[in-house]
Chains A and B, each alone.
Chain A
Amino acid sequence: MTEYLERESANEAGGVDELASDTNAGEGRRSFLTGVSALAVGALATLAPVGAAIAAIFDPLRRASDERDLVLVARLSAVPEDGSPRKFTVTADRTDAWATYSETPVGAVYLRRVGEDIRALNVVCPHAGCFVGIAPDRSRFACPCHRSSFDLDGVVNDPSSPSPRDMDTLDVEIRNEDEVWVQFQNFLPGRKDKTPV
């Protein structure tokens, strides 16, 4: 018949030397060397699977974030004339692990007119990543999660607001008279500065 061992228990065998202390000195040393060898050889045997497992687990860290050019988000005519914000879906090509999607929703922006200009704000709250809503009276942005509050320019307008920074502005370009192109990006939440994800 054969011998079994829960290998982990062997690896945790910190108190082994004391336990073996009743044997005489020479035998004790030999036993110690055998024990060290056993652990070393055991560790060597698990090196490849554990190494491959660690490499695979940390694989996401070496994946670069998507770099996007400006994307066409809306026609100018669709942005309200009165300067109130409106939500637009941002669609773009995307590779999600193995799958490639063309023109798939990747996020949303609020667009609003300020004079001749178009301003774009990422809908994601800089506090904890919730989807910021427009307050019912359309006078400000209000986050439904932790009550961050921003004015229509996306600036924090309430001292009790938990958001560490203003809503994230995005670069906008008008092309061919009436196409609104936005440099869509997400930023790390919970920080004072705007750091791209």
Chain B
Amino acid sequence: MRDLLDWLDHRTGYRALLRGALYERIPGGARWRYIWGSTLVFAMVVQLITGLVLWSAYSANAQGAWESVWFIQNQMTGGWLLRGIHHYMAQVTIVLLVLHLMQVLIDGAYRAPREVNFWFGLILLQLVLALSLTGYLLPWDQKGYWATKVATSIASMTPVVGPSLQQLLVGGSEYGHHTLTRFFVLHAGVLPAGVALLIVGHIYLFRRHGVTVPKNAAEKPDGYFWPEQVLKDSVASLIVMATVLGLVLWSGGAHLGAPADPAEPYAAARPDWYFLFLFQWLKYFPAGWEVVGAQVIPGLVLALVAAMPIIGGWRYGHRFNLGVGAALLAGVVMLTWQARVEDAADPDFAVAKAEADALAHRASELAGASTGIPAAGGLAMMRSDPLTQGPKIFEANCAQCHRFDGHDGLGGQPSEAASASDLAGFGSRAWLAGLLDPARVATDEYFGGTAHDRGRMVRFVQRGVAGFTPEVRDDLDKVIMAVSAEAALPGQAELDAAQEAEILEGRALIASEAINCVRCHTFRDMTEGDVGPVLTGWGSRAWMLGMLHDPTDERYYGEDNDRMPSFGADESLTSAEMGLVVDWLRGDWTSQHTPEP
């Protein structure tokens, strides 16, 4: 063994290198206050390890980014932990950087001959912030997408070169595949290489100048880097890691929003917390002055910080620097706090955040369902989900007259009162029972606000049904079961199957003397007068699509149609949109266990 090591040393001189690396003399001995730089190196190494493995599973394209991150998070062994560590270590790194910088300021460690190293550190700080910014976009979820749009918009405001700069960053005029490939090459290639080079330079210069020893250290004996300081550094790194793991477990892992959608608003768009102060800062600049707020002032502040080593050489310069540092920190803390307070007090933000969370949850649920993510990607998956799209289509096209469970589909209230039936549960037994309830048929849940409010159906219910004997009442219940079974609602499938006998009975009773639906409605081969909508397949997908297509068709209301538009015949809705709203109303979407929004 010894011979082998001798051989190696003769060829490489590793012993001298190791001796140099480990036995650096530390005047006054190892100290806890020297740990900050080491924890940062530790953080960078962790980011390198986790980042490389994430890279092995990540796909940088607009139909693969969200999808592959979802896969890492939910399908890969240890993926959630890997991504969680990478995500939270990035945030902890920024805290450590600020602490490191503060300590350098307080100790005056930036003064000659350490100016260049201070500048290296400042550049490192900016590279790390750039890593955070580029990394934020890579999951290609709503949050990253819209938050990064703000950043590239700010870049576009740069005088003269702005628009070109933005186009270069984005890889074209629109966000897309090349935005991701370019951000990814920055995030995983250019910026880490820059960080690595600067860390080497930073450590080299640090070794050249040695630690900045506090005044009271002189009495204590000197120590060495190995092993005393290494032990302290290791303990500090362990605490950093424990903090990160605590954050991962407490938060349940790094968040992944719904897939990026350029056509859907994201009112909860916020940068990560360490950029919140800039976000808040921008609110104070009126139109036309954004460049001043986002570029000129931060640039001047950075220039002032960069000048600190020189200012520090003047009389009272160090105190001035400390004052500037304290003021900047206080300003950042105040702006961050202000941003939080404003969001907390804003009910719209809370709603937007809850909506975003619900969509994120839904996206993940769809991706994990047996149907999986289609080849067209997560956005197409969300766009073809009735549960997500149905309420929006309903709100935009139906809620002028109809309601869904008393609201407009999205939980709001239109300005006009309801003037057509409430379609929540349409097709179900409960919905039909309400229609056939003398007390309810003429309310705005059913025909109240329509031209049919004194029509034959309402009269039948108010006069006929109201006078039914208990026996006929029982028969009516079976008729309700039979007609509702025509809808073949997924949510009622088990019940329909279990009560097949009653349903068969009900079908026969539709034409019975007392009830006699077929006097006005056609049911299968039974009809006496085709006045009202056909009951064959009533409430089924095909029946509802036909109704949406053209309610004036003789199968539906014919000439008696009130105000219901012919969405399909007029081409005001596409067949895909009609399918989505019908599937939503029928509760027909992937995974039936999902609570309605």
B385 sits at the interface (CB 8 A): no
A196 sits at the interface (CB 8 A): no
Can you list, as one digit per residue, whether each of B225-240 has a CB less than 8 Å from chain A (1) or not (0)? Answer: 1111111011101101
Q: Decide: A58 near B77, CB < 8 A? Known: A5-B233, A53-B49.
A: yes
CA distance A28 to B226 in the complex (A): 12
Interface centre among A2, A34, A38, A48 (most CB of B within 10 A): A2
B82 sits at the interface (CB 8 A): yes
Can you list, as one digit per residue, whether each of A6-29 has a CB less than 8 Å from chain B (1) or not (0)? Answer: 110110111110010000000000
- List the 5 closest A-B pairs by CB distance, nearest first: A55-B78, A2-B37, A100-B372, A35-B227, A1-B212
Residues of B at the A interface (CB closer than 8 Å) are: 5, 15, 18-19, 21-23, 26, 33-38, 41-42, 45-46, 49-50, 52-54, 56-57, 64, 67-68, 70-72, 75-79, 81-82, 85, 89, 100, 103-104, 107, 109, 114, 202-203, 206-207, 209-212, 225-231, 233-235, 237-238, 240-241, 245, 367, 371-375, 377
Residues of A within 8 Å of B42, CB to CB, are 7, 45
Q: Decide: A3 near B225, CB < 8 A? Known: A15-B5, A37-B231, A95-B372.
A: yes
CA distance A99 to B36 in the complex (A): 44
Asked whether, in the complex, the Cβ of A49 is within 8 Å of the Cβ of B234, the reply is: no
Asked whether, in the complex, the Cβ of B373 is within 8 Å of the Cβ of A98, the reply is: yes
A31 sits at the interface (CB 8 A): yes
Asked whether, in the complex, the Cβ of B68 is within 8 Å of the Cβ of A57, the reply is: no
Asked whether, in the complex, the Cβ of A4 is within 8 Å of the Cβ of B38, the reply is: yes
What's the minimum C-beta distance from B31 to chain A, rounded to whole angstroms? Answer: 8
Residues of A within 8 Å of B22, CB to CB, are 9-10, 13, 16, 19
Asked whether, in the complex, the Cβ of B245 is within 8 Å of the Cβ of A59, the reply is: no
CA distance A37 to B232 in the complex (A): 10
CA distance A104 to B375 in the complex (A): 10
Residues of A within 8 Å of B34, CB to CB, are 1-3
A41 sits at the interface (CB 8 A): yes
Asked whether, in the complex, the Cβ of B241 is within 8 Å of the Cβ of A59, the reply is: no
Interface centre among A46, A49, A55 (most CB of B within 10 A): A49
Asked whether, in the complex, the Cβ of B49 is within 8 Å of the Cβ of A50, the reply is: yes
Can you list, as one digit per residue, whether each of A88-132 has a CB less than 8 Å from chain B (1) or not (0)? Answer: 000000010111110010000000000000000000000000000
What's the minimum C-beta distance from A152 to chain B, rounded to whole angstroms? Answer: 37
B82: which of A38, A42, A53, A98 is its contact (CB, 8 Å)?
A53
Residues of B within 8 Å of A50, CB to CB, are 49
Residues of A at the B interface (CB closer than 8 Å) are: 1-7, 9-10, 12-16, 19, 31, 34-35, 37-39, 41-42, 44-46, 48-59, 62, 95, 97-101, 104
B234: which of A19, A41, A101 is its contact (CB, 8 Å)?
A41
Asked whether, in the complex, the Cβ of A4 is within 8 Å of the Cβ of B77, the reply is: no
What's the minimum C-beta distance from B24 to chain A, rounded to whole angstroms? Answer: 8
B21: which of A9, A53, A57 is its contact (CB, 8 Å)?
A9
Residues of B within 8 Å of A12, CB to CB, are 18
Asked whether, in the complex, the Cβ of A48 is within 8 Å of the Cβ of B241, the reply is: yes
A13: which of B18, B67, B85, B104 is its contact (CB, 8 Å)?
B18
CA distance A54 to B50 in the complex (A): 10
CA distance A7 to B44 in the complex (A): 11
Tell me if A's interface is mostly helix, strand, loop or mixed. helix
Asked whether, in the complex, the Cβ of A100 is within 8 Å of the Cβ of B21, the reply is: no
Given A45-B234, A59-B78, 8 extra CB contacts under 8 A: A1-B212, A3-B34, A5-B225, A5-B229, A5-B230, A15-B15, A48-B245, A52-B85
Asked whether, in the complex, the Cβ of B79 is within 8 Å of the Cβ of A2, the reply is: no
Residues of A within 8 Å of B372, CB to CB, are 95, 98-100
Residues of A within 8 Å of B109, CB to CB, are 1
A35: which of B89, B202, B226 is its contact (CB, 8 Å)?
B226
CA distance A46 to B242 in the complex (A): 10
Asked whether, in the complex, the Cβ of B78 is within 8 Å of the Cβ of A51, the reply is: yes
Residues of A within 8 Å of B18, CB to CB, are 9, 12-13, 15-16, 19
Asked whether, in the complex, the Cβ of B71 is within 8 Å of the Cβ of A97, the reply is: yes
CA distance A99 to B85 in the complex (A): 26
26 A-B pairs whose Cβ atoms sit less than 8 Å apart in the complex: A9-B18, A13-B226, A16-B22, A16-B226, A34-B228, A37-B231, A38-B227, A38-B233, A39-B234, A45-B42, A45-B237, A45-B241, A48-B81, A49-B50, A53-B53, A55-B78, A55-B81, A56-B72, A56-B76, A59-B76, A59-B79, A97-B68, A98-B64, A98-B70, A98-B71, A100-B371
CA distance A38 to B33 in the complex (A): 17
What's the minimum C-beta distance from B186 to chain A, rounded to whole angstroms? Answer: 22
CA distance A170 to B377 in the complex (A): 34
Closest to B248 in A: A48
Q: Decide: A41 near B231, CB < 8 A? Known: A6-B21, A15-B15, A53-B50.
A: yes
Closest to B70 in A: A98
Q: Decide: A44 near B67, CB < 8 A? Known: A15-B18, A19-B19.
A: no
Residues of A within 8 Å of B49, CB to CB, are 46, 49-50, 53
What's the minimum C-beta distance from B366 to chain A, rounded to whole angstroms? Answer: 11
CA distance A50 to B245 in the complex (A): 13
Q: Decide: A34 near B231, CB < 8 A? Known: A1-B104, A52-B81.
A: yes
Asked whether, in the complex, the Cβ of A4 is within 8 Å of the Cβ of B53, the reply is: no
CA distance A3 to B24 in the complex (A): 10
Asked whether, in the complex, the Cβ of B373 is within 8 Å of the Cβ of A10, the reply is: no
